[in-house]
Structure 1
Amino acid sequence: MVWEIPDGGLTRSLSEPIVTLEGHTKRVGIVLWHPTAQNILLSAGCDNLILIWDVGCGQSVISIDETHTDLIYSVAWNRNGSMICTTCKDKKIRIIEPRTGAIVAEKEKPHEGSRPVRGIFVSDDKILTTGFSRMSERQVALWDTRKCEPIAMTVPRKSDLFQEDLYPDTIGPDPALTAEEWLSGKNAEPLLISLKDGYVPSKGRELKVNKNVLNVRLPKRSQSSDGGGACADSALQQLTEEIKQLKATVAEQEKRIAHLEGKAAN
């Protein structure tokens, strides 16, 4: 479910999400917004399935369903959202092109221990993983994805001053792309903000959602092929079905009211 917190914070309890997404058959453990594309959301569940959603029309547009053979421990987008990094209980770390589902790089047993491994991108070519040795000792490793080999790590120096080389401009909240642009194959670097003087959130940001499209699920497939036509058709079909249900409810209520009025008159 996607919820929207109004500007200024909550003034009352929220009881209804603005959109509900249904597609996983088991518990969802991971949800991640795309770093640059508006309304693109990734989810991973205990069904070993990764779904990528266009929240604006309430549909899953990409399904990565045959890559992971066991529980997915972690998923991370790279800087511009053109790749994802996953770790899995099958003891593999993978770099995947999300729009095609193709595995770009793969490393088996990045850490020898049996406990969960997690990974994130620190640059387009490097990923950081955490895990355990065979003796259950905590480990941190930095990998070059072009070779899938470990490389040296550096330790930050201590200082009370703001260090721009250690804390460079970071990803801000505003999207660099629309959902349609990203799904069509376009990439863009994220819009950055400085943390030197603290972060001041922008105002007036609003999630654009077709609120008539709820609980819509595409047939199982790797990727949407009609560039948005299915979204519009499903929206119309959903709206038509809701109108039929509302008409039936109104008719039933009218019968009930007429019956009650008759009893009251007697």
Structure 2
Amino acid sequence: MASIVRSSKYRHVFGTAYKREDCFENLRISINAWDTNYVTANPKYVAVNWNAGGGGAFCVVPLGMAGKLRGDFPLFSAHAGAVLDTAFSPFDDDIIASGAEDHQVMIWRVPKDLEEREEDVTEPLLTLGGHGRKVGHVVWNPVAEGVLAVSSSDYTIKIWDVQKGQVKQTLKGFKDSIMSIAWNHNGTLIAATCRDKKLRIFDARSGELLQEGTSHTGVKGSRVAWLGSLPRLATTGFSRSSDREVYVWDTDNLEKPISKMQIDMSAGMLMPFYDPSTNVLYVAGKGDGNIRYYEYADEQLYFLSEYSSPEPQRGLGVMPKRGVDVAKCEVTRFFKVSSNSLVEPISFKVPRKAETFQSDIFPPAPAGKPALSAEQYFSGANADPVLIDMAKVFNDGPLIVGSNAPIATSAAPPPAATTPPVTATPPVTATPPVAATPPAIATPSQSSARSINEERLASPAGSATSVSSAARAAEAKALVADSAELEALRQENARLKQQLENAQSQVVGAENRINAAQEQLQKAKQQAAADEQAIEKLKSDLSSTATRDEIQAVKEKHDVALCKVGNLQGNLDQANNLVEEYKAKLAAAEAKAQEHEGVAANLQKELRAAIDAANSLTAAAEKAVDSLQ
């Protein structure tokens, strides 16, 4: 990660959690151990995997129903096993796919009477079988309508034509469970990470394995995200020593990553989310409350800032760009699963007080319209996503989309053989719509004058040539009143402008304080890293006498302490508890070492040195926190 300070429009993006009353409560979110986000969202709904007793279910809640969910709210319940993943169609906000442990994929339509409905939704539009084991991921194609990628624990990815209920291609070659899948921006390629520690890229239509390389070496799994239309991938995972990492890859060569970045030492999976409109990569850790974000430029990830919360996240869903609040300069919105019963929206905004559309931070984004039909796509046609001018979202609010495309009522048997796609001429990309110019707002005097003229035109001819003195007096009185009102509005406008200038000065001062705090934070992290190296050296000295499991146990406890220091949560009581546990581990190792004659004295001396180093680390952490306070 580049450490220099760069000029960026998104440098001061900040995250704000919604108030409690605007969150979604009284949910029963799944506690399944499968690595999933648990939640997905679009401009109409938020959906969560449900903790159902027997069988599998998920819940779809309209965004307007924030608060405590009623106990009899309907579920989508037809799976015989736990639901592991859900995904809303990018082209129809009422269509959602679900994959479950029962080896099935189901396609559903959200009923119009969902808010008033009491009985569960138990009849999907379509059930897709053919998977040998549980279904872990369902991901819609971003360009072609009704094309769905499904990964399974049978070590395959199947590409479905949902409109016909047919498997069009099966991607093979995996040696273990598939951990993550992602389409590229025009839906022609699929990237996948696997527990066999390989990163692979496939041609989704021919099934050809285009690239393969060794990814993160840790055993805890990894995830992948495409960096928009660039020939680049970002992966998150673990090193052999459980360091959490982010790699950036050239999709034409997976022999080695073009950049590596170590985040911290913690046990939770890192969830990557890339916003192609802003070139910002958000990285959120499971089991902690941090969302870090980086701007990708010049083959580097530049750190922007970090959202921190005392409540750890189990999973995250992200709002499509067409659903953000453009008028409030909101660039991203996440939906955070912070407990087994709560989903908390988090809004990320650029700190601007603007009353007009900010085109520099809101370039065109996917419009929620398909560029290709499934038939065109599987015939070999290519197209980029259809884009919308975000000024339309600024003027009209979140864009809701729907589709009348047919969906098969039953899945067709898989074809005996797959014919390679025929290259077709790409269709012409639709031109993004241009936002309409908002109507001018009339001043009070203009409005009054217009109404008076209209009355004159509507009056009889005799009245038009002979206006009574009473009418003239009434007209003059109205104009005087309007002039006074206009002057009052001008004064109010001047007062508001002065308040705005004062607020802008305060914002500049706050930004300066933030920059100073970030510099202090960086110094504290550097000191923590130096202390960590000292501890690592001491632990390596101990490796000749203590067992590998003991050293690993000590390291994991120490990793947790370092994570707490790095996040500067200020909870020194927890740090002290971790040090006590660390001492207990070292004491146990010391007792075991004493059983070995001839080395007991040396080992005891080294262990005491390690304890002193741990105490020094805690003192350094306290000093770093005090300096920031």
TM-score, normalized by the shorter chain, greater than 0.5: yes
Equivalents in 1 of 2:413, 2:360: separation in Å? 45
**Amino acid in the other structure paired with 1:69:** K
**Amino acid in the other structure paired with 2:107:** V
Which residue does 2:241 correspond to in 1?
Answer: 135
Task: From 220, 245, 267, give the equivalent of 1:115.
Answer: 220
**Amino acid in the other structure paired with 1:62:** Q
Which residue does 1:3 correspond to in 2?
Answer: 108
Is 1:175 matched with 2:366?
Answer: no
Q: Higher mean Cα deviation, 200-209 or 123-132?
A: 200-209
Q: Secondary structure at the match of 1:188?
A: coil
**Amino acid in the other structure paired with 1:50:** I
Shift of 1:146: 2.3
Which residue does 2:258 correspond to in 1?
Answer: 150
Cα deviation 1:106-127 (Å, max 9, x = unaligned) = 211x222221011111134100
Which residue does 2:151 correspond to in 1?
Answer: 44
Cα deviation 1:16-70 (Å, max 9, x = unaligned) = 01111111011000101110101111101000111111111111111123x2121
Which residue does 2:382 correspond to in 1?
Answer: 187
Equivalents in 2 of 1:187, 1:138: separation in Å? 36
Contact 2:164/2:411 (8 A) holds in 1:
no
Equivalents in 1 of 2:419, 2:129: separation in Å? 16
Q: Higher mean Cα deviation, 174-183 or 123-132?
A: 123-132
Equivalents in 2 of 1:6, 1:202: separation in Å? 16
Equivalents in 2 of 1:134, 1:225: separation in Å? 40
Which residue does 1:216 correspond to in 2?
Answer: 412
Higher helix share: 2
Equivalents in 2 of 1:88, 1:220: separation in Å? 27
Equivalents in 2 of 1:71, 1:165: separation in Å? 42
**Amino acid in the other structure paired with 1:156:** L
Contact 2:202/2:209 (8 A) holds in 1:
yes
Shift of 1:9: 5.2
Unaligned runs of 5+ in 2: 1-105, 260-299, 307-349, 423-629
Q: 1:36 to 1:99 in 2, by over 3 A?
A: same
Residues matched between the structures, number: 222
Contact 1:32/1:41 (8 A) holds in 2:
yes
Equivalents in 1 of 2:138, 2:184: separation in Å? 15
Is 1:126 matched with 2:228?
Answer: no
Q: 1:139 to 1:46 in 2, by over 3 A?
A: same
Q: 1:8 to 1:160 in 2, by over 3 A?
A: farther
Equivalents in 2 of 1:164, 1:157: separation in Å? 22
Task: From 70, 77, 80, give the equivalent of 2:186.
Answer: 80
Root-mean-square deviation (CA, aligned residues, Å) is: 2.8
Is 1:70 matched with 2:268?
Answer: no
Contact 1:133/1:139 (8 A) holds in 2:
yes
The percentage of counterpart residues that share the same residue type is 34
Q: 1:224 to 1:19 in 2, by over 3 A?
A: farther
**Amino acid in the other structure paired with 1:16:** E
Q: 1:166 to 1:217 in 2, by over 3 A?
A: farther
Cα deviation 1:194-252 (Å, max 9, x = unaligned) = 387385233553341133xx14321464x25799xxxxxxxxxxxxxxxxxxxxxxxxx
Task: From 73, 93, 96, give the equivalent of 2:202.
Answer: 96
Shift of 1:80: 0.3
Equivalents in 2 of 1:54, 1:105: separation in Å? 25
Q: Secondary structure at the match of 2:109?
A: coil
Contact 2:167/2:415 (8 A) holds in 1:
no
**Amino acid in the other structure paired with 1:153:** L
Equivalents in 2 of 1:164, 1:89: separation in Å? 42
Q: Secondary structure at the match of 1:209?
A: coil
- What does 1:187-266 correspond to in 2, within 5 Å? 187-193=382-388, 194=390, 197=394, 200-211=398-409, 214-219=410-415, 221=417, 223=418
Equivalents in 2 of 1:174, 1:202: separation in Å? 11
Equivalents in 2 of 1:132, 1:154: separation in Å? 20
Task: From 160, 177, 198, give the equivalent of 2:351.
Answer: 160
Equivalents in 1 of 2:210, 2:359: separation in Å? 32
Contact 2:226/2:232 (8 A) holds in 1:
yes
Q: Secondary structure at the match of 1:156?
A: strand
Equivalents in 2 of 1:176, 1:22: separation in Å? 27
Q: 1:23 to 1:175 in 2, by over 3 A?
A: same
Contact 1:7/1:204 (8 A) holds in 2:
no
Q: With CA pairs under 8 Å and 6+ residues apart, which has the higher RCO, 1 or 2?
A: 1
Is 1:35 matched with 2:142?
Answer: yes
Q: 1:199 to 1:164 in 2, by over 3 A?
A: same
Shift of 1:85: 0.5
Equivalents in 1 of 2:217, 2:360: separation in Å? 33
Contact 2:163/2:407 (8 A) holds in 1:
yes
Q: 1:79 to 1:185 in 2, by over 3 A?
A: same
Equivalents in 2 of 1:135, 1:18: separation in Å? 46
Which residue does 2:497 correspond to in 1?
Answer: none
Which residue does 1:24 correspond to in 2?
Answer: 131
- What's the TM-score, normalizing by structure 2? 0.33
Q: 1:220 to 1:86 in 2, by over 3 A?
A: farther
Q: 1:176 to 1:136 in 2, by over 3 A?
A: same
Q: Secondary structure at the match of 1:181?
A: helix
Contact 2:205/2:420 (8 A) holds in 1:
no
- What's the TM-score, normalizing by structure 1? 0.74
Q: 1:24 to 1:56 in 2, by over 3 A?
A: same
**Amino acid in the other structure paired with 2:366:** I
**Amino acid in the other structure paired with 1:205:** S
Contact 1:169/1:192 (8 A) holds in 2:
yes
Whose Rg is larger?
2
Equivalents in 1 of 2:247, 2:420: separation in Å? 39
Equivalents in 1 of 2:403, 2:111: separation in Å? 9
Contact 1:36/1:175 (8 A) holds in 2:
yes
Contact 1:34/1:77 (8 A) holds in 2:
yes
